Structure 1
C-alpha cells in the first residue's frame, strides 16, 4: 500500500513539475504570435495640417502594439530622414508640390495612400479685396500689397513653385519668408485694419474658419505649367516599413480622412485645445471609420 501511494505521489509531482516548466517556457519566450513590435517614428513638420493625422495614426498604432515616436523637422529634413531610415512615416505629403522629394528619394521612400483630395493652396487674399480673384489680377497693382507676399519657410518646396508663379506673371512682388505662425501674425495684423494683404495659404487650415479668405485662381500658370493645381495629401513611408511593421503598413495603406474633419480639428487645436484631446475625441467618435480602414483588405 505504501509503495503504491509513493508511486502515485511521484507521478503527481512529475505532472506538476512538467506543468510549471511549460508555463515557465511560455513566460520566457512569449506568444510567438505576439512578438514585440518595433518603434515607429513619424516625421512632423510645423504645419498645422500635420498634427491631427499624425496623432490619430500614432494613437491607433499604439493600440495595435507599436511604440510611437515623433521627430519634428522641416519638410526637407523629414524626407531626408525617411530616405535614410531615421523616420518611417510622414502623414502630410502634398502632391504635386512635394513630388520632387519622391522623385529624388524614389529608391527608399514611397507614397502608400491618399489621405484626402482637393486640397488647394496658393496666393490668398481677404474677400474684401473684391477685384483680385486670379493671380493675373495683381499685375500692375502690386503696390496695393506693398509689393510683398507673406510666406512660409523658404525651404518648403511649395515656395519654390510660388517663385515660379511670380516669375510666370512677371509680378513685382517679393516674398517675406518666415514660420507659419509669423506669416499668419503679419497677415492678421493687416486684416484687422482691413488693409489689402497677400500671403500664402492652404486648405485644410483654420485661417479659412477664422477669416473670410479666398485662394486666388491661377488659370494660366496652372494650365501651362501645372503650378498650384489641386493637391492630394499622401501618406509617405520608408520602403522598409512593409517588412519592418507589416500590420502598420497595411493599416496606413488604407488610411483616409476627410478634409472637413481635418479643418474642424485644426480649428479646435488653434483655439487652444490640447491636440491629444482633440484627436482622441475624433477616434472615439469615428470608431466605425477606423474599423473600416483596419478591415479594408
Structure 2
C-alpha cells in the first residue's frame, strides 16, 4: 500500500508538468528486462513498438528472474513487465523493502497454471483432480509434464508419491513443453491429462478443460496468477510521460495467446507480431496512449497509429 501511495504522489506531480516538457532527453532510452518467457517477450515487443513510435529507444536485456530483480533494484533497468504473483512474492517483498521500486499497474489478470485435460478427457467426465483415478485406464495412468526438474513436475510427483486423489499408481511423463503439447495434439480421441497454463497459444489451438481441485498443489483459481508492471521510483519521477504509458499498458489473456502464437508457431519477431496485432486492434492504442506524448511533446496516439499503419 505504501508503494502505491508513493506512486500516486509521483504521478500526480508528473501530471502538473507542462505537456511539452514532460520527459527530458535523458529519458530517451528505456531499459527493460526479459526473463526468456514468451509472454514477457510478447509484451516487451508491444512496449518496444510503442516506445519507438514515440521517439524513445527500448533497450531490452535478457536476464534471469533473480538477476532481473537485482538489476531493477540497483538501477540497471527501469521497467519490468513480468512480476508474476504470487509466485514471485519473495522477490517482490525484497523490492518493496528496498523502497526503490513502485508498482505501476497490474497488467494482466486471468493467468493460470495447473493440470488440464483435452476434449476427450472432458467428455469422459473429468473436470476435477478427484475425477482422474476412476478413468485411469482411459488415460493410460499417465500425467504429461514439462522438462525434468520443473517445480510443477515436482508438485505432480509429490502428489503421486503421497497417493493424493488415488493417483499413487499413476506415472509422471517428463519431457518438455513442445513434446508434451505434441503428445496432446496427436492424442485424438484418447483422453490426456497434462500441465497447461495461460497465457499460451495452446489455449487457442487445443480444446482445454482446466481441472478444479488442485488448490493445494497449484494454488486457488486453477493456479491463478496476476502479472504486474514494476518501475524504478526515480525513473517514474524523472520520466513521467513514459511512466504514464506503462501505467496504462494492460493486456488480456486472449491477446497474449495470439501474440505468443505468432512468435512461437509462426516464428515472428516480437515487434512484428506486435505491429500486426496493433494494426488489427487500434482501439487498444487509444486507451494506452491517453494523455501520452512523444518524447518531443507531440500527440502520442497519432504517432503510434501512423507508425503501425506505415
Q: 2:163 & 2:76 partners in 1: Cα distance? A: 38
Which of the numbers 112, 122, 135 marks the counterpart of 2:104? Answer: 112
Deviations 1:74-105 (A, max 9, x none): 43433333233333222233222333321232
Q: 1:35 to 1:81 in 2, by over 3 A?
A: closer
Q: Secondary structure at the match of 1:289?
A: helix
Asked if 1:261 is matched to 2:251, the reply is no
2:11 aligned residue: none
How many residue pairs align between the two structures? 262
2:32 aligned residue: 42
Gaps of 5+ in 1: 1-30
Asked if 1:63 is matched to 2:53, the reply is yes
Gaps of 5+ in 2: 1-20, 293-310
Relative contact order higher in (CA < 8 Å, ≥ 6 apart) = 2
Is contact 1:168–1:221 with CA below 8 Å preserved after alignment? no
Q: 2:88 & 2:23 partners in 1: Cα distance? A: 39
Which of the numbers 244, 251, 255 marks the counterpart of 1:250? Answer: 244
Cα deviation for residue 145 of structure 1 reads: 5.7
2:116 aligned residue: 124
Is contact 2:48–2:271 with CA below 8 Å preserved after alignment? no
Alpha-carbon RMSD across the aligned residues, in angstroms, is: 3.7
Asked if 1:184 is matched to 2:178, the reply is yes
Which of the numbers 171, 188, 206 marks the counterpart of 1:211? Answer: 206
The two structures have a TM-score, normalised by structure 1, of 0.70
Is contact 1:37–1:65 with CA below 8 Å preserved after alignment? no
Q: 1:159 to 1:185 in 2, by over 3 A?
A: closer
Cα deviation for residue 69 of structure 1 reads: 1.5
2:304 aligned residue: none
Q: 1:67 to 1:260 in 2, by over 3 A?
A: same
Is contact 2:117–2:211 with CA below 8 Å preserved after alignment? yes
Is contact 2:116–2:193 with CA below 8 Å preserved after alignment? yes
